[in-house]
């Protein structure tokens, strides 16, 4: 039997290799530029997304997967012999994706046990929870044990980002507690904290370099951190951030922020995601 299998959505920003190696199924959101719609990952890579965002006048928008897409994913796992599925989704405060997964779980009914869990996170914060859950499932953990792990990780997961602009967040309606920064859009490089699943202001700086240095200080001030990841939206200066962390002796995973989070974070976003020790 396949035991417990993990399903997530494309806001996790896992690579195809990371997902495939642990049997994780990634259900894609959709990205719209005006009347043109693309399925995340399969029809629009991270690289192609940022190129398109540079070329198009319209800001991109995102749409949650349909319940049917999740139901199809759950049924594929059942057909592969899964005893249960744990579906871990991006923060329900930022997207209707989790609601779609919950509707799909209800549609499955008694055919398969499906547990839907809110990560209260995005990008590598979500991705780390998914990876650790899949590793635990591969070791033979029950659905209850996998859910308990994710709920524990959720409380210890941090996501902090340096934006080059607030325009994408503003248009997408996800600006939340960072609303107060709108008045000085032209003169600041904003920092946001999404560690609770909501967007909150985390600082504002006059230059990009100071913003990245402040992000380094956020990591430093957390003391010992685990599963550190630096994620970016094709930022040409991401090496400034990685050099700062290299100086401090951190081990970290470096990856790209995909189209879902990039639609709201905007071009050149740089983020740090980590987990506090238990």
pLDDT in tens, 21-70: 999 999 999 999 999 999 999 999 999 999 999 999 899 999 999 999 99
Looking at the chain, the whole-number percentage of residues with pLDDT higher than 90 is: 87
Predicted confidence band at 224 (pLDDT cuts at 50, 70, 90)? very high
Looking at the chain, the whole-number percentage of residues with pLDDT higher than 70 is: 92
Torsion of CA 118, 123, 129, 135, to 10 degrees: 130
Tell me: pLDDT of 2 over 80: no
Please tell us whether the domain made up of 157-275 is placed in CATH 3.90.1170.50.
no
Please state which of the ranges 168-177, 237-246, 265-274 shows the lowest mean pLDDT.
168-177
CA distances from 128 to 196, 222, 235, 273 (A): 15, 18, 21, 9
Tell me: pLDDT of 179 over 70: no
Instruction: Locate the domains of the chain by residue range.
Output: 3-29+64-154, 157-275
Tell me: pLDDT of 183 over 80: no
Q: What pTM, to 2 d.p., does this model score?
A: 0.93
Predicted confidence band at 187 (pLDDT cuts at 50, 70, 90)? low
Q: Which residue has the higher pLDDT, 57 or 221?
A: 221
Q: Which residue has the higher pLDDT, 129 or 57?
A: 129
Tell me: pLDDT of 177 over 50: no
**The pLDDT of residue 170:** 65
**The pLDDT of residue 129:** 98
Contact of 190 with 166, CB cutoff 8 Å: yes
CATH topology of domain 3-29+64-154: Rossmann fold (3.40.50)
**The pLDDT of residue 1:** 47
**The pLDDT of residue 57:** 87
Query: Is there a common fold for 3-29+64-154 and 157-275?
Result: no
Tell me: pLDDT of 215 over 50: yes
Residues 78-126 have pLDDT tens digits of 999 999 999 999 999 999 999 999 999 999 989 999 999 999 999 999 9
Predicted confidence band at 176 (pLDDT cuts at 50, 70, 90)? low
């Amino acid at each position: 039997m396949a035991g417990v299998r993990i399903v997530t959505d494309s806001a996790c920003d896992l690579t195809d290799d990371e997902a495939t190696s642990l049997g994780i199924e990634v259900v894609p959101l959709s990205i719209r530029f005006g009347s043109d719609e693309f399925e995340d990952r399969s029809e629009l890579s991270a690289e192609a997304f940022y190129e398109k965002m540079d070329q198009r006048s319209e800001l991109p928008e995102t749409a949650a997967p349909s319940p049917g897409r999740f139901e199809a994913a759950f049924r594929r796992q059942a057909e592969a012999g899964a005893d249960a599925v744990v579906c871990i989704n991006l923060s329900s405060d930022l997207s209707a994706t989790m609601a779609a997964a919950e509707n799909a779980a209800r549609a499955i009914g008694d055919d398969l046990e499906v547990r839907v869990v809110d990560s209260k996170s995005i990008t590598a914060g979500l991705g780390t929870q998914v990876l650790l859950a899949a590793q635990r499932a591969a070791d033979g953990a029950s659905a209850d044990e996998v859910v308990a792990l994710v709920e524990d990780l959720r409380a210890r997961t941090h996501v902090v980002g340096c934006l080059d602009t607030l325009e994408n967040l503003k248009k997408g309606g996800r600006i939340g507690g960072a609303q107060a920064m709108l008045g000085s859009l032209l003169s600041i490089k904003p920092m946001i904290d999404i560690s609770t699943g909501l967007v909150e202001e985390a600082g504002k700086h006059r230059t990009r370099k100071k913003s990245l240095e402040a992000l380094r200080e956020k990591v430093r001030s957390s003391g010992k951190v685990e599963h550190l990841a630096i994620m970016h939206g094709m930022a040409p200066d991401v090496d400034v951030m990685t050099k700062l962390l290299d100086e401090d002796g951190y081990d970290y995973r470096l990856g790209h922020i995909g189209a879902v989070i990039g639609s709201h974070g905007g071009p050149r976003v740089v983020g740090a995601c980590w987990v506090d020790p238990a």
